[in-house]
Chain A
Amino acid sequence: MAFKDLRDYISALEQHGQLKRVDREVDWNIEAGAISRLVYEKGLPSPLFENVTGYPGYRLFGAPISTFSKLAIALGLDPETSIKELINFYLEKKKDLVKPVFVDKSQAPCKENIDIGDQVDLMKFPSPMLHEGDGGRYLCTWHINVSKDPDTGWINWGCYRAMVSGKNTLTGPVSPAKHMGSQYQKYKAKNIPMPFAIAIGPEPVSGFIAGARVAANLYEAELVGALRQEPIELVKCETVDLEVPAGSEIVIEGEISLTEKDWEGPFGEFVGYSATGRNKAPVWNVKAITYRNNPIITMSNTGVPVDEYHLDVGLVRSAELYNRLRADGIPVVAVNAPPEGVGFLVIVSVSGNTPNIAEKVTSSIWSSPQGSNAPFVFVVNDDVDVFNIWEVMHAMVTKCHPYRDIWRVERASAIPFMTFLNAYERQHRLGAKVYFDCTWPTDWDPVSEIPPKISFDANYSHEVKEHVLKNWENYGFIRLA
């Protein structure tokens, strides 16, 4: 059964030993952020700060889905579910999207408190200062941005950061390369401020999918319903023609200005660095805030992997690229966009003996929305487990010719987060990409030129392996996993 809201999910985390209630007073000013950052880096239970300096009655929740185990719990699966099984689950459930259902505001916990117009005061919330040097207090780091295409009516869910810049204003980047940003360009062309809604602290699958890069024109709420295996309940906003998850902790409604800009950033980012600096960004004018009693503000303290963004990559990008490769007729066995690769690395295993398979794989990936900004691609044979980085490394150093099998492309697409580019390259989006062909050449004689692999699985006969495995514990060893 799906979690009805964040609080339900938090209870589940607690039951699984994946929550730490912190009732000692913790400062929203850097302290909560620093604790959360260490939680990510040590893979620890998610902290629920119940006593925030200067904000009685408000709570902060850090590292909401910071490990695959927590993600499995969020999806209603066993915490030990492997990443391969999570990918298969995603691909299977995605086949049958589930439309959301709409509830009346009387049934929506996010409407327990409603502030409109002059009542709006973003300062009443303990927006955290997450990293030293951040441009401001980021209230919005793990949430859903809801926006609508003015021409087609396509509703997009995304997760775009925003900081508090005034009593009733937020500031946040609106990149044309992102779905919400592409919609914003249409509002600009029509000279209409863009309505938005931000749902902070939704139930976990919604928060997870909002941050994932799914196809344009796909309504994320339907994918969320598919993964939850129950429709998500939505409620209409007060002042904008949008809907948000009814169980959200806080909902912020308003319009993104076409003309007003203010300083935003820097911010510690998913790439593991503060990469894009301080810039002027659009002002988001807030018209209404609705919120639950004792609201919980979710914080995703992005930085070095692994955090929520990286898990989004690890699951959704891997799954979507698998589908893309299959659709392009590639004999793909598995795809891993590992979280530690921050979205810049894809590893693909292929079966068979197709000539130039690495080039085919990479062309497919780089021409897709999910893979266009992955500058590093590794292609391996199907005897390599792409989820075992050491097997991938072994394949690279034994099969990838350092001169012949590394293919580089200049003047490739780029995003400003690619910190290996210099400032000029980042400004002008002059990227570079590379793929590593870690497969045996198809023109090598399989008997005389391709060396036989020496591993338990590859070298020993079926009879020997069966005999050894059957007697494993009799030899005195503990049972194999």
Chain B
Amino acid sequence: MFREGYEIYTSKLGQLEQGKELQLEIRDVKTYQPKKVKATISSSPEKLPDGELLWVRGMLGPLLDGKPWRIKIISQVQS
């Protein structure tokens, strides 16, 4: 309700590789529409200053990091 940006589910924070181009499935927190994208992510806002917010959730639902990461979407991947 109050969040902006995107969410992603992962089993462990360590599985999200930072700083390199990845293919990810994320969802918009306003619509919950999933989409597949090519993007780079970082837990540090300074490393992706123009990135959008990315909230990281575990597979049971809770946020794995209380602070949002950043995501820079390069392109959308067709399903």
Contact = CB atoms under 8 A, between A and B. Distances in A.
Given A30-B1, A31-B1, A278-B9, A137 B57 contact: no
Contacts of B61: 131-135, 266, 268, 274, 277-278
B63 interface: yes
Given A29-B30, A278-B9, A133 B1 contact: no
A227 interface: no
A27 B32 contact: no
A164 to B, nearest CB: 8
B8 to A, nearest CB: 11
Interface of A is mostly: loop
For B1, B30, B62, the residue with the greatest tally of chain A CB atoms inside 10 Å of its CB is B1
Size category of the binding interface on chain B: 10 to 19
A431 interface: no
Interface in B23-79: 25, 30, 32, 34, 57, 59-63
Contacts of A133: 57, 60-63
A25 B55 CA distance: 26
A456 B67 CA distance: 60
A75 B77 CA distance: 52
For B25, B30, B59, the residue with the greatest tally of chain A CB atoms inside 10 Å of its CB is B59
B59 A278 contact: yes
A165 B32 CA distance: 9
Contacts of B30: 29
Interface in A244-295: 263, 266, 268, 274-275, 277-278
B32 to A, nearest CB: 5
Contacts of B57: 133
A187 B1 CA distance: 40
Contacts of B59: 266, 277-278
Nearest to A27: B1
B1 A29 contact: yes
A197 to B, nearest CB: 25
Interface string A123-134: 000000101111
For A27, A129, A134, A135, the residue with the greatest tally of chain B CB atoms inside 10 Å of its CB is A135
A263 B10 CA distance: 12
Interface in A345-366: none
A136 interface: yes
Contacts of A135: 9, 61
A274 B32 CA distance: 19
Contacts of A27: 1
Nearest to A268: B61
Contacts of B9: 135, 263, 278
B67 to A, nearest CB: 16
A270 to B, nearest CB: 15
Nearest to B25: A263
B1 A274 contact: no
A275 to B, nearest CB: 8
Query: Across chains A and B, which 10 residue pairs bring their CB atoms closest together, nearest first?
Result: A133-B61, A30-B1, A266-B61, A274-B61, A277-B59, A278-B59, A277-B60, A29-B1, A274-B60, A31-B1
Interface of A: 27, 29-31, 129, 131-137, 165, 263, 266, 268, 274-275, 277-278
22 contacts: A27-B1, A29-B32, A30-B1, A31-B1, A132-B61, A133-B60, A133-B61, A133-B63, A134-B61, A135-B9, A135-B61, A136-B32, A137-B32, A263-B9, A266-B60, A268-B61, A274-B61, A274-B62, A277-B59, A277-B60, A277-B61, A278-B59
